[in-house]
Amino acid sequence: MYNMRVTSTILLATLSVSITSLNAFVPSRVVRQTTADRRHNGSFFRIANGHLFAGGFEWEDPAESFDQGVENPFKNPEILGTDGEGMKIDPARLLGPRLQGSNLYFVGMMGSGKSAVGDVVARRMGTYNFLDTDEIIEKATAMSIPEIFDAEGEEGFREAEAQVLDSVHAYVRCVISTGGGLVCRMGNWSKLQTGVVIWLDVDPELIIKRIEGDTNRPLLQADDPLQKLKDLLEERREKYSQADVRIEVTEDMDENAVADLVVKELHNFIDENPPAWKKAKAKAQAEGLDWV
C-alpha cells in the first residue's frame, strides 16, 4: 500500500473538468474549440450491422471557410513519384487541411503502440499536437497509474480518465492516445465522435512480447497475463470495432510503418466520407450546374 491514499472525491476534484486546469498539462500551442466551433463542426453517425460507428467529422462549408483543394496524395500522380513509390511530400502533412481541425483518437489494447504511433503521426503532420490521456492523468494527480489503481481501483481510474477525455476533446488539431479501457464507457463515445477514431489492432501474443516485464500495467498483474489480455480484448472487441479506421499491426511493423499505414488509411477514410457540401458540389457538376 502507498503512504498517500486518495478518495474518489479528492481524486476527481484534483482532476477538475475545467479547461483552465487542463491548460497546465497540454502544450501551449494546442487550440481550444469554442462553443460556436462545436456547433459548426458537429459530428455525424454511421450505422452498419447494428453498430453505431464513431462517425468522423463534418467539414466547414466553403461559405464559412475556403476549400483548400487538398486531395488524397496517394491518388495524385503529381505527388506520387514516377514509379508510384517515392512521395514528393510527406502525405501526413496533407492530413491537416483535409481534417479541418478534427482530432484523431487512437484506441486499442494496452501495449498496442497508441502513444508511440500517435506521437509519430502528430510530428509528421506538423500542425497537430500529441496528447496522452494516461500521461495527463499522472501529471494532474501526481500519481502513477498503478498507484491510482491501488488507491481507487479500476473504477476510480476510469472516472479520472473520463474527466480528462471530457476536457481534451474541447481542443482541436490534436492526436490523442487513449487508455485501453476508455471505450468501455458509452459516455466516452460522445467525445470520441467529435473526431476520427483509429483502432490499432494487435494480437495479444505480440503485445505480451512487447510489454514483458512492464509492471506499469495493473490489469496484467495476474498469474496468466496472456489469458487476461485475451479476455480483456474479447470484452472490448465490439467497442474497438466501432472505430472509423482499423489498422492491423503485425510483428514486422515498427511505429513508423504503422504510422505510414495510419496516414494512408486516414486519407482513404476522408475520401469515403466526404463533407455534405462536397457531395452537393459533385451532384451539381454532374447535372451540368455551376457551383458558386
What's the pLDDT tens digit per position in 19-73?
A: 344 555 555 555 555 444 443 343 333 333 333 344 444 434 443 344 456 889 9
Q: 108, 199 in Cβ contact below 8 A?
A: yes
115-152 tens-digit pLDDT: 999 999 999 999 999 999 999 988 888 888 888 888 88
Lowest-pLDDT choice from 79-83, 120-124, 208-212, 243-247? 79-83
Question: Which residue has better confidence, 219 or 138?
Answer: 138
Q: With pLDDT > 90 as the criterion, what percentage of the chain qualifies? A: 42
Mean pLDDT of the chain, nearest integer: 77
Q: 144, 216 in Cβ contact below 8 A?
A: yes
Please tell me the predicted confidence (pLDDT) of residue 109: 94
Please tell me the predicted confidence (pLDDT) of residue 237: 95
Model confidence at 246, pLDDT cuts 50, 70, 90, reads very high
Residue type, 246: R
CA dihedral 65, 131, 113, 127 (to 10 degrees): 40
Rounded to whole angstroms, the Cα distance separating 196 from 102 reads 7
Q: Phi, psi (5° rounding) for residue 118?
A: -60, -40
162-191 tens-digit pLDDT: 999 988 888 889 999 999 999 999 999 989
Task: Pick the closest to residue 198 from 136, 118, 272, 123 (CA basis).
Answer: 118
Q: Is the pLDDT of residue 83 over 60?
A: no
Reported pTM: 0.76
Please tell me the predicted confidence (pLDDT) of residue 85: 56
CA 85 to chain centre: 28
User: What is the CB neighbour count within 10 angstroms for residue 215?
Assistant: 9
Rounded to whole angstroms, the Cα distance separating 254 from 124 reads 15
Q: 131, 174 in Cβ contact below 8 A?
A: yes
Q: Phi, psi (5° rounding) for residue 165?
A: -60, -40
Lowest-pLDDT choice from 19-28, 99-108, 148-157? 19-28
Q: Which long-range contacts (CB under 8 A, 24 or more apart) does 61-66 make?
A: 61/275, 61/276, 61/277, 62/277, 64/40, 65/100
Mean pLDDT value across residues 255-282: 85
Residue 171: C-alpha distances to residues 14, 101, 137, 269 (Å): 20, 9, 17, 22
Q: Transcribe 246-282 into DSSP letters.
A: EEEE-TT--HHHHHHHHHHHHHHHHHHS--HHHHHHH
